[in-house]
């Protein structure tokens, strides 16, 4: 438990001071976030945010990494192979986001050179990372809700790799879509990582129940590091934001959440843990579906993702953010309720058994 607290505290402080340094660095150089205007069907009411320092996700990724590494100085916590694979995956996805952020800033437009092809590139990266996770670690190749054998659908390795790749790709994109209001993505991600801290620690303390998970404590420490880093970043990202997360943060956070679900055998539970991200990404898909089905004449929402729809209905940005945080908290609490209910039942069965 001490390692978990160390990871969260160090990551939080590192992200807090790192974010402040990034604000100063980018402000002095005039490197700010370009905003899509009316001509690009973007949120015109956000044009006041034009030029806000971006790429703040660097502080999240860097802070989380420092917190995770520092926690391993404590005796008893070892570096796990899947932990190293996960970090390579997170940094790879964050690097892709950083490249797109740099291109956006240099072009002065909110669509990087890869904006049409980024989905294909991240999908190929997701397949490669999912395959490596299977090849290099003892991750269970089942489709699971709360543990490897619940429901524990066993599938061929190729199928599991494609399933895992779809989770990585979808989660990174869903977090990216959610990152449209000050603090919305960071705050909701902090709650999701908090859920994985609890899940990872319960798995670690109850090896007789969750024996299929390899070194769950390392994953719990990683989740704590990301939760702390999101909290430190949120100090400056809360509305009105002094810095924006950027794709480097959104893609890195999304990859971390996906890998935690894959390594802790809670892939299906991720739909609830990241429920607000599912809603946001789903609103974009529905908007596009209705628009195309109507011959490009009708829209389901005034603007997608759905947080912009509520802004255009007259809700202040802070109202949308706080209400979406509350919805995210309900999703996370429901997911934890399902996990803990299953754990309680299993623990009771073991306690009353012969």
Q: Residue 341: what are its φ and ψ, rounded to 5°? A: -60, -40
pLDDT digits (tens, 9 = 90+) for 222-240: 999 999 999 999 999 998 9
- Do the beta carbons of residue 53 and residue 32 sit within 8 Å? yes
For residue 352, is pLDDT > 70? no
DSSP state of 76: T
Q: Residue 152: what are its φ and ψ, rounded to 5°? A: 70, 40
Mean pLDDT of all residues in 90-111: 84
| Most confidently predicted of 202-206, 286-290, 315-319, 332-336 | 332-336
What's the mean per-residue pLDDT of the chain? Answer: 89
The CA distance from 170 to 136, in Å, is 23
Which residue spans within 199-271 are E strands per DSSP? Answer: none
Q: Please list the helix, strand and coil fractions of the chain in percent, rounded to the nearest 5, in that order.
A: 70, 5, 25
Axis crossing angle, helix 118-136 with helix 246-263, rounded to the nearest 10: 30
Give the pLDDT score at 105: 81
Instruction: Give the residues across from 53 on adjacent strands.
Output: 32
Which residue spans within 129-207 are E strands per DSSP? Answer: 142-147, 150-154
Q: Who contacts 7 (Cβ-Cβ below 8 Å, separation ≥6)?
A: 67, 68, 70, 71, 221, 222, 224, 225, 228
Mean pLDDT of all residues in 68-93: 91
For residue 214, is pLDDT > 90? no
The CA distance from 68 to 70, in Å, is 6
Mean pLDDT of all residues in 18-47: 71
- Whole-angstrom CA distances from 309 to 42, 103, 259, 302, 322 are 12, 28, 31, 5, 15
Give the pLDDT score at 299: 87
The CA distance from 8 to 330, in Å, is 23
- Do the beta carbons of residue 212 and residue 242 sit within 8 Å? no
- Do the beta carbons of residue 249 and residue 56 sit within 8 Å? yes
**Spans of all domains in the chain:** 2-271
Grade residue 108 by pLDDT with cuts at 50, 70 and 90: low
- Whole-angstrom CA distances from 10 to 5, 15, 71, 224 are 8, 8, 9, 10
pLDDT digits (tens, 9 = 90+) for 42-79: 555 555 666 688 899 999 999 999 999 999 998 878 88
For residue 197, is pLDDT > 70? yes
Give the pLDDT score at 187: 96
Three-state secondary structure call for residue 154: strand
Percent of the chain with pLDDT over 90: 62
Count other C-beta atoms under 10 Å from residue 99's C-beta: 17
Give the pLDDT score at 78: 83
Burial 326-347 (b: 16+ CB within 10 A, else e): eebbebbeebbebbeebbeebe
pLDDT digits (tens, 9 = 90+) for 143-179: 999 988 888 889 999 999 999 999 999 999 999 999 9
Rounded to two decimals, what is the model's pTM?
0.92
pLDDT digits (tens, 9 = 90+) for 313-351: 999 999 999 999 999 999 999 999 999 999 998 888 776
Give the pLDDT score at 42: 52
| Most confidently predicted of 101-105, 116-120, 199-203, 222-226 | 222-226
Residue 354 burial class via C-beta count within 10 angstroms: exposed 0-12, middle 13-18, buried 19 and up? exposed
In the chain, DSSP finds a helix count (H) and a strand count (E) of 12, 2
Q: Who contacts 164 (Cβ-Cβ below 8 Å, separation ≥6)?
A: 126, 130, 133, 134, 262, 267
The CA distance from 195 to 216, in Å, is 13
For residue 353, is pLDDT > 50? no
Grade residue 40 by pLDDT with cuts at 50, 70 and 90: very low
DSSP state of 301: S
């Amino acid at each position: 438990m001490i390692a978990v607290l160390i990871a969260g505290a160090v990551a939080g402080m590192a992200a807090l001071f790192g974010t402040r340094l990034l604000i100063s660095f980018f402000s002095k150089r005039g490197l700010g976030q370009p905003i899509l205007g009316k001509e690009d069907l973007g949120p015109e009411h956000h044009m006041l945010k034009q030029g806000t320092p971006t790429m703040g996700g660097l502080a999240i990724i860097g802070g989380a990494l420092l917190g995770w590494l520092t926690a391993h100085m404590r005796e008893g916590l070892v570096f796990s192979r899947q932990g190293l694979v996960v970090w390579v995956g997170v940094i790879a996805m964050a690097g892709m986001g950083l490249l797109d952020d740099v291109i956006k800033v240099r072009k002065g437009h909110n669509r990087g050179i890869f904006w049409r092809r980024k989905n294909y590139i991240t999908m190929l990266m997701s397949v490669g990372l999912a395959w490596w996770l299977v090849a290099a670690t003892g991750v269970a190749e089942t489709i699971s809700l709360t543990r490897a054998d619940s429901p524990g659908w066993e599938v061929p390795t190729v199928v599991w790799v494609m399933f895992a790749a779809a989770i990585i790709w979808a989660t990174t994109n869903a977090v990216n879509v959610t990152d449209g209001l000050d603090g919305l993505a960071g705050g909701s991600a902090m709650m999701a990582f908090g859920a994985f801290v609890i899940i990872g620690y319960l798995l670690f303390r109850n090896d007789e129940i969750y024996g299929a998970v390899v070194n769950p404590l390392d994953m719990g420490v990683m989740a704590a590091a990301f939760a702390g880093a999101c909290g430190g970043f949120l100090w400056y990202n809360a509305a009105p934001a002094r810095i924006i997360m950027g794709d480097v943060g959104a893609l890195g956070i999304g990859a971390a959440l996906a890998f935690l679900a894959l390594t802790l055998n809670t892939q299906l539970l991720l739909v609830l843990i990241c429920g607000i991200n599912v809603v946001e990404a789903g609103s974009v898909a529905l908007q596009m579906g209705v628009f195309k089905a109507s011959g490009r004449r009708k829209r389901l929402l005034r603007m997608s993702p759905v947080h912009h729809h509520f802004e255009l209905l007259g809700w202040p940005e802070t109202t949308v953010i706080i209400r979406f945080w509350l919805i995210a908290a309900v999703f996370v609490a429901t997911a934890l309720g399902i996990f803990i209910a299953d754990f309680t039942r299993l623990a009771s069965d073991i306690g009353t058994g012969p």
